[in-house]
């Protein structure tokens, strides 16, 4: 409970727009010569949008809260245009590095070209984007379509040829995570002849997902036998709606629940059988970003694309020991 209060406090601070961690004050470039501090601008989506995002924010803040580094986090409140402006602000202030967890895949060419012209390395974390590869230094994060395939592979086994009538709670439209996970479901629906009853964005939010799921239950009733929720918070909202409607959720015979992120509280729900399949999306990017910056500082060039290893957890094989050993 304490951690969540601390995180909430942090999230409130972040919601105010900026959080400064690490070394001294001062502008980017000039501060570097004077104090030999590496100035990093981190353009975050929306720091308190989900359990996953709070873990991701915490990883970055904790990693760079050390001598020799100054990390300034800008919170775009999931507004793609504001995030691009935040990045331009880091360029104008001559930051040494810019790290971006992109709200949307599109709209990056101009500002990334400005960063390139200013000779500021750009490191993409978490979310992939649609932009020429020469406009950013590297991408470190998941392959979201592979994450989705892990979930649909489980669905194929679970339903074993029986009819699937699935509803899809999508992430914020245009986000790399949403595009990849939705594409995997679409491929599986086409391949298996499943019925996609409905599809709508819940914007990663528990409340939005619960409201959407409530209306789908009224519309489709017991036809729904699978919910494909593109993150834990939305899966939780869907489960709340189903349980309030008296539906049997999860387990062997209930409405099958697919989720992504595998935050610890939702792995607990997987162990309880409420979530059937939970695909990990690792938020702990801080150490990887530090490693990349240190590599660049020593004159080495990082790989262009670094896909992080991720696994999936299932209601009938997960254990408390697995959950207890998790970092987030
Ligand atoms: O990009 C990762 C996604 O962003 C997570 O699955 C979701 O919870 C977050 O909002």
pLDDT in tens, 105-115: 999 999 999 99
pLDDT (tens digit per residue) in 242-277: 999 999 999 999 999 999 999 999 999 999 999 999
| CB-based burial, 63-85: b 16+ in 10 Å, e otherwise | bbeeeebbbbbbbbbbebebbbe
Ligand 1 atom 3, closest CA: 177
Let me know if residue 97 belongs to a domain: yes
Q: Are residues 102 and 233 in the same domain?
A: no
| Within a domain: 202 | yes
Give the model's confidence band at 8: pLDDT under 50 very low, under 70 low, under 90 confident, else very high. low
CA of 100 to the centre of ligand 1 (A): 14
Query: Is residue 195 situated within a structural domain?
Result: yes
Q: What is the pTM of this model?
A: 0.90
pLDDT at 75: 97
Considering the domain boundaries, does residue 307 fall inside one? no
- Kindly give the distance from the C-alpha atom of residue 27 to the centroid of ligand 1, in angstroms, as a whole number: 31
Using CA positions, which residue lies closest to atom 2 of ligand 1? 177
Residue 83: beta bridge partners? none
Does residue 168 sit in the same domain as residue 182?
yes
Number of domains the chain is built from: 2
> Which pLDDT score is estimated for 90?
98
Q: Residue 32 has what pLDDT?
A: 62
Do 60 and 115 belong together in one domain?
yes
pLDDT band at residue 24 using 50, 70 and 90 as cut-offs: very low
Q: In the prediction, which pLDDT does 36 show? A: 87
Q: Does residue 119 lie in a domain region?
A: yes
280 lines ligand 1 (CB under 6 A): no
pLDDT of 21: 66
End-to-end Cα, the chain, rounded Å: 14
Query: In terms of pLDDT, which residue wins out, 208 or 25?
Result: 208
pLDDT at 309 over 80: yes
Question: Do 177 and 319 reside in the same domain of the chain?
Answer: yes
- Whole-angstrom CA distances from 274 to 57, 246, 298 are 27, 14, 48
**Same domain for 64 and 180?**
no
Per-residue pLDDT band at 9 (split at 50, 70, 90): low
Residue 288 lies in a domain: yes
CATH at 211: 3.40.50.2300
- Angle (CA) 264 265 268, round 5°: 90
131 lies in the same domain as 20: yes
Span 276-295, pLDDT tens digits: 999 999 999 999 999 999 99
Is residue 39 located within the same domain as residue 134?
yes
Tell me which residue range forms the domain holding 207: 144-281+314-324
pLDDT of residue 28: 45
Cα 245 from Cα 225, distance rounded (Å): 14
Average pLDDT of the residues of the chain: 92
Residue 209 lies in a domain: yes
pLDDT of 13 reads: 52
Decide: 47 in ligand 1 pocket, CB within 6 A: no
Q: Are residues 195 and 159 in the same domain?
A: yes
CA 269 to chain centroid, in Å, comes to: 19
Q: Is 50 exceeded by the pLDDT of residue 312?
A: yes
The pLDDT assigned to 161 comes to 86
Q: What value does the mean pLDDT take over residues 2-25?
A: 53
Same domain assignment for residues 227 and 113: no
Instruction: Report the pLDDT value the prediction gives residue 27, as an integer from 0 to 100.
Output: 40
Helices (H), 76-164: 80-92, 109-117, 144-159
Whether residues 28 and 111 share a domain: the answer is: yes
State the pLDDT at residue 163: 97
Return the pLDDT at 228: 99
144 lines ligand 1 (CB under 6 A): no
Residues 115 and 180 in one domain: no
What separation in Å is there between the alpha carbon of 121 and the centre of ligand 1? Answer: 24
Please write the tens of the pLDDT for every residue from 223-239: 999 999 999 999 999 99
Residue 309 lies in a domain: no
Are 200 and 66 members of one domain? no
Q: What is the mean pLDDT of residues 188-204?
A: 98
For ligand 1, pick from 43, 47, 75, 126 the residue to mutate: most ligand atoms within 8 Å of CB. Answer: 126
Q: What are the residues facing 277 on neighbouring strands? A: 258, 314
């Amino acid at each position: 409970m304490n951690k969540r209060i601390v995180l909430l406090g942090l999230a409130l601070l972040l919601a105010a727009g900026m959080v400064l961690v690490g070394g001294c004050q001062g502008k980017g470039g000039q501060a570097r010569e004077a104090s030999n501090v590496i100035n990093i601008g981190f353009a975050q989506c929306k720091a308190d949008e989900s359990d996953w995002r709070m873990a991701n924010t915490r990883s970055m803040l904790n990693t760079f809260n050390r001598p020799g580094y100054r990390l300034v986090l800008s919170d775009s409140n999931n507004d793609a245009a504001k995030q691009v402006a935040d990045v331009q602000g880091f360029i104008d202030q001559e930051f040494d590095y810019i790290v971006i967890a992109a709200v949307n895949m599109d709209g990056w060419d101009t500002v990334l070209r400005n960063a390139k012209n200013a000779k500021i390395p750009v490191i993409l974390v978490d979310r992939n984007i649609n932009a020429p590869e020469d406009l950013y230094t590297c991408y470190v994060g998941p392959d979201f379509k592979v994450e989705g395939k892990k979930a649909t592979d489980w669905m194929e086994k679970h339903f074993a040829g029986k009819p699937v009538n699935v509803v899809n709670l999508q992430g914020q439209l245009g986000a790399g995570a949403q595009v990849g996970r939705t594409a995997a479901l679409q491929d599986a629906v086409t391949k298996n002849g499943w019925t996609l009853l409905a599809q709508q964005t819940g914007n990663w939010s528990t409340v939005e997902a619960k409201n959407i799921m409530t209306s789908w239950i009224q519309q489709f009733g017991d036809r729904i036998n699978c919910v494909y929720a593109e993150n834990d918070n939305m899966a939780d909202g869907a489960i709340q709606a189903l349980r309030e409607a008296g539906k049997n959720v999860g387990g062997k015979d209930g409405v099958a629940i697919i989720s992504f992120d595998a935050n610890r509280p939702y792995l607990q729900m997987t162990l309880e059988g409420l979530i059937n399949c939970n695909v990990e999306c690792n938020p702990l990017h801080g150490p990887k970003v530090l490693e990349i910056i240190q590599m660049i500082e020593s004159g080495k060039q990082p790989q262009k694309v670094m896909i992080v290893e991720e696994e999936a957890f299932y209601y009938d094989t997960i254990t408390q020991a697995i959950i207890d050993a998790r970092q987030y």
